[in-house]
Amino acid sequence: MAVLHISDMEDEIQKICEASLTARQMSYSPYSKFKVGAAILCSDGIVVTGCNIENASYGLSICAERTALVKAVSEGRKEFKGIAIAADIQNEFVGPCGACRQFMAEFNPTLPIFLVRVDRKVKVTDLGVLLPESFTPKNTKFDFYNGE
């Protein structure tokens, strides 16, 4: 998995990496105090962001990646070219949790993933690597689903 600097990435990817760092600032995480931001690049070039949103009933907390995906899909976008994820740990790349991997696989099982650090180093990977042999619509009786 390649590690690059944001400035080495193509424009659209730079844009989502920066957007994930900005979205992180909106994190509502009074319980874990662990801020996460995500930014998803839609096939039409639109960028949709999300942050983690926690709850006093801890189990209801939602991750940044799912916030971004839920926002995008609810706005009519289901085709994605990549997602950038920025977390709050210095010197470490933070990968998406298992639930978010599954949630992303629904829409793109090989989605390019950019793990962004605050020093703007970026680890480049994809969902095919992070969630191989994933269970997706093609494995269900709904594999005829045509998006309507």
Which residues carry out catalysis?
65
Using CB under 6 A as the binding rule, whether residue 20 contacts ligand THU is answered as no
Whole-angstrom Cα Rg for the chain: 15
Rounded to an integer, what distance in angstroms lies between the CA atom of residue 52 and that of residue 142?
A: 30
Among 22, 32, 43, 110, contact with ligand THU (rule: CB under 6 A): 32
- To ligand THU, the closest distance from the beta carbon of 64 in angstroms equals 4
- To ligand THU, the closest distance from the beta carbon of 11 in angstroms equals 25
Which of 18, 21, 72 has its CA nearest to residue 44? 72
Contact call for residues 69 and 114 (beta carbons, < 8 A): no
- To ligand THU, the closest distance from the beta carbon of 27 in angstroms equals 8
Burial zone of 28 (CB within 10 Å; 0-12 exposed, 13-18 middle, 19+ buried): middle
Using CB under 6 A as the binding rule, whether residue 64 contacts ligand THU is answered as yes
Q: Which is nearer to ligand THU, 14 or 88 (CB)?
A: 88
The residues binding ligand THU (CB under 6 A) are 29, 32, 34, 36, 52, 54, 61, 63-65, 96-97, 100
